[in-house]
Structure 1
Amino acid sequence: MAWYYLFIAGVLECMWAIGLKYSNGFTKLWPSVFSVTLIVVSLFLLSLSMKTIPVGMAYAIWTGIGATSLVIIGMVFMGEPAGLARIVCLLMIIAGIVGLQLMGES
């Protein structure tokens, strides 16, 4: 169950970061409420996952899910550059997370 909590927490991290963009520095009420609510739920689920997943692993995966998701969303939907170097760096983040997982289980 911890891995499900961690995955959902990572997805929510991505969502609250997008909400922050639209909160305009917490000056718009509903995007701000949306973001703060998702921050709390995301951190709660992250903390639940840390009951069984080591903190370094959980945090790396949580931030990795958020970072890679946001980069992809930015490139696909928000007109951010999608050059080869950015894609290679994104793949290195994913490889690092997978490597941490594989090394943690050996």
Structure 2
Amino acid sequence: MHWLYLWLAIVFEVGGTLSMKLSGGFTKWQPSILLVVFYICSFVFLTLTLKGLEVSTVYAIWSGAGIVAITIIGFVYLGEHVNVTKVLSIVLIVIGVISLNLSSEKTSDPLPTVSESIE
């Protein structure tokens, strides 16, 4: 269920970022309202995700997937310029997110959590 929450958080974050672009600096009221609603929903689902998954993995996937998705939307629908440097940068983000996710799954002896060290 936590993975579903994470993907919902990503979808809402991308919707919020797209609404931010469409709001024209808060001059258009409909995308401005959607921006706030989408980001609230994103943070709600992100918070629910953190109840069951590691924060480093969650944040890397949330931010990385959001960056990749909004960049592709910018290229395809908003007519933003595509170049080799941008594409290579996106590939590096994807590699970083995958690497972080794989490394956190292989951790067998994690450091104590904050709550464990308080006890």
TM-score by length of 1: 0.94
In the other structure, the counterpart of 2:99 is 99
In the other structure, the counterpart of 2:113 is none
1:19-43 Cα shifts (integer Å, max 9, x gaps): 0111122232211111101110000
User: How much is the aligned-residue C-alpha RMSD, in angstroms?
Assistant: 1.0
Q: Tell me which protein shows more helix as a share of its residues.
A: 1
Matched residues in 1 for 2:77 and 2:30: separation? 22
Matched residues in 1 for 2:27 and 2:79: separation? 24
In the other structure, the counterpart of 1:27 is 27
Matched residues in 2 for 1:23 and 1:81: separation? 21
3-state SS of 1:62 partner: helix
Higher Rg:
2
Structure 1 residue 69, shift from structure 2 partner: 0.4
Structure 1 residue 57, shift from structure 2 partner: 1.3
Q: Which runs of 5+ in 1 are unaligned?
A: none
Q: Which runs of 5+ in 2 are unaligned?
A: 107-119
1:45-76 Cα shifts (integer Å, max 9, x gaps): 00000001111211111111111101111111
1:52 aligns with 2:65: no
Identity %: 36
| AA partner of residue 94 (structure 1) | V
In the other structure, the counterpart of 1:68 is 68
Matched residues in 2 for 1:23 and 1:78: separation? 14
